[in-house]
Amino acid sequence: MKHWLLAFFCLAALTGCASEYLLVTTDGQILTSDGEPELDEDTGMYEFEDSEGREQHIPKNQIKQMMER
């Protein structure tokens, strides 16, 4: 029984580590990111995986606001 309880708490802790971010663009779109978007300094674009698992790229100057959900 103790092993199941320990496994449950470990799984719950790992599930809570993935944060979701909302990105608001200058034209009013709201994009959802699984995990914190990373800025590629060479291209000036944020790279992130959206809620449907697709990799997205958006220029830094098109992001008006970014917040953790």
Which pLDDT score, from 0 to 100, does residue 69 have?
Answer: 87
- Helix H, strand E, coil C: the string for 14-55 is HHCCCCEEEEEECCCCEEEEECCCEEECCCCEEEEEECCCCE
Q: Is the pLDDT of residue 41 over 80?
A: yes
Three-state DSSP at 1 gives: coil
CA dihedral 7, 9, 13, 15 (to 10 degrees): 70
Structural domains in the chain plus CATH codes? 18-68 (2.30.30.100)
The per-residue pLDDT for range 16-30, each reduced to its tens digit, is 556 899 999 999 999
The pTM is what? 0.70
Nearest to 24 by CA among 59, 60, 66, 55: 66
